């Protein structure tokens, strides 16, 4: 195909986390493989991943930290653009219809990535990779009649590594990952819980993001615990998931990584928008929901980890249910096919 110019508008921060940027990077890499030229535009806020995106080989245009409205964000974005774009990809909870309508001046086609279903969008495609019983009806009144909706984990934006098996399960091995920033420092809570589970038998990989504000304290906490290994901004998350017997983590995009890896998870929701999907997956038997982050205690974690590690047949049932959720034939390539069909 002729070189398609693509603009991604997304942000990361200590509060927002890194999930929006990471899934956009996955799509950007898949589009690049098809000959597209992808640019990002991000605000320079605390916990941004601008340097990380550049390290992945992409141009990043930078917006000021403080923007007061969608319209101002759109005008500041338009000022930065030096060329027209065939495609705008918007992945941002604070931006919707007004932003996309204004960006139509320079962008021919619009893809919105969302999971809130709480605002209108001016888009040609809408992607919501979550699994919900009412998925087909959520966006009916929020997108134009001709908008194509890409719904469910078939379109989950997972990196290529998750479609390749490279490791085998290790007994009593736990993976801990509560997102890129882990604002509630649930990682420290999990480490303290695992520390009390006969450490000579239980091992763990501890994953945190580059912008985790607790990193120095976590390094000190783990210094005397040889059965646990810290990974910062891990590049081999699929391998870590494939060798763990159980995962402690948050809701959100990690659900789909865990499901395609057939990894049983004790899941905590750290944001309101994670609750519906996590509750539904729990009902399907594809994860074990422990409630919201504010309710999590060390005692509860110790109880649940101990129980499930002693019940391999229950873990296997969760693994089987999880693996049926995210199909192996979809992902970023399925999204790219839909995008190319519109060009």
Mean pLDDT, to the nearest integer, of 81-104?
A: 97
5-158+328-342 and 161-323 share one fold: yes
pLDDT of 1 > 60? The answer is no
Q: Kindly report the CATH class assigned to 5-158+328-342.
A: alpha beta
Q: Which residues of 145-174 are buried (b: 16+ CB within 10 A; e: fewer)?
A: eebebbbbbbbbbbbebbeeeeeeeeebbb
Residue range 2-22: mean pLDDT, rounded: 90
Q: Hunting for tokens 């398609």 — which residue is that?
A: 4
Q: Which residues neighbour 124 within 8 Å (Cβ) at sequence distance 6 or greater?
A: 109, 110, 111, 144, 146, 147, 148, 342
pLDDT (average), residues 163-171: 85
Kind and range of the H or E element at 267? strand 265-269
Q: How far apart are CA 321 and CA 281, in angstroms?
A: 9
Residue 7's nearest CA partner among 100, 138, 127 is: 100
Q: For residues 294-304, give the mean pLDDT.
A: 96
| Mean local confidence (pLDDT), 129-158 | 94
Query: Please, which pLDDT band fits residue 62 given cuts at 50, 70 and 90?
Result: very high
pLDDT of 171 over the 60 cut? yes
Q: What percent of the chain has pLDDT over 70?
A: 99
Strand locations in 116-264, DSSP E? 125-128, 148-151, 173-177, 203-208, 228-232, 246-250
Mean pLDDT over residues 75-82, rounded?
96
Inter-residue contact 19 to 252 (CB < 8 Å): yes
What is the share, in percent, of the chain residues with pLDDT greater than 90? 83
Read off the pLDDT of residues 263-289 as tens digits, 9 standing for 90 and up. 999 999 998 889 999 999 999 999 999
Residue matched to tokens 């819980």 = 193
pLDDT score of 2? 64
Please give the CATH architecture assigned to the domain spanning 161-323. Answer: 3-Layer(aba) Sandwich (3.40)
pLDDT band at 329 (very low <50, low <70, confident <90, very high): confident
* Over residues 304-320, mean pLDDT: 96
The predicted-structure confidence for 207-223, as pLDDT tens digits, reads as follows: 998 889 999 999 999 99
Confidence of residue 12 (pLDDT cuts 50, 70, 90): very high
Alpha-carbon distances of 215 from 177, 189, 222, 252, rounded to whole Å: 13, 14, 11, 22
Domain ranges of the chain: 5-158+328-342, 161-323
């Amino acid at each position: 195909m002729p070189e398609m110019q693509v603009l991604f508008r997304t942000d990361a921060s200590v509060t927002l986390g890194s999930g929006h940027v990471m899934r956009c990077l996955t799509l950007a890499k898949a589009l690049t493989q098809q000959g597209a030229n992808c640019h990002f535009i991000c605000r320079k806020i605390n916990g941004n991943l601008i340097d990380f995106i550049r390290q992945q080989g992409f141009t990043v245009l930078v917006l000021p930290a403080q923007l007061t409205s969608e319209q101002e964000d759109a005008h500041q974005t338009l000022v930065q653009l030096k060329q027209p774009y065939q495609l705008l990809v918007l992945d941002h909870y604070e931006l919707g219809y007004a932003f996309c309508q204004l960006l139509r001046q320079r962008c021919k086609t619009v893809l919105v990535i969302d999971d809130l279903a709480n605002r209108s969008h001016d888009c040609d495609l809408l992607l919501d990779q979550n699994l919900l019983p009412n998925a087909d009806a959520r966006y009916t009144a929020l997108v134009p009649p001709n908008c194509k909706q890409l719904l469910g984990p078939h379109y989950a934006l997972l990196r290529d590594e998750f479609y390749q098996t490279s490791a085998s399960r290790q007994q009593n091995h736990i993976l801990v990952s509560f997102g890129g920033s882990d604002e509630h420092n649930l990682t420290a809570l999990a480490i303290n819980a695992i520390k009390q589970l006969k450490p000579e038998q239980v091992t763990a990989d501890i994953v945190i993001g580059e912008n985790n504000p607790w990193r120095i304290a976590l390094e000190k906490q783990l210094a005397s615990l040889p059965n646990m290994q810290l990974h910062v901004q891990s590049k081999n998350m699929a391998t870590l998931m494939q060798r763990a017997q159980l995962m402690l983590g948050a809701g959100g995009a990690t659900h789909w990584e865990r499901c395609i890896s057939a990894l049983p998870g004790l899941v905590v929701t750290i944001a309101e928008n994670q609750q519906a999907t996590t509750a539904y997956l729990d009902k399907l038997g594809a994860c074990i929901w422990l409630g919201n982050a504010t309710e999590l205690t060390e005692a509860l974690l110790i109880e649940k980890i101990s129980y499930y590690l002693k019940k391999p047949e229950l873990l296997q049932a969760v693994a089987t249910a999880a693996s049926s959720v995210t199909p192996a034939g979809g992902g970023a390539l399925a999204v790219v096919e839909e995008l190319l069909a519109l060009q």
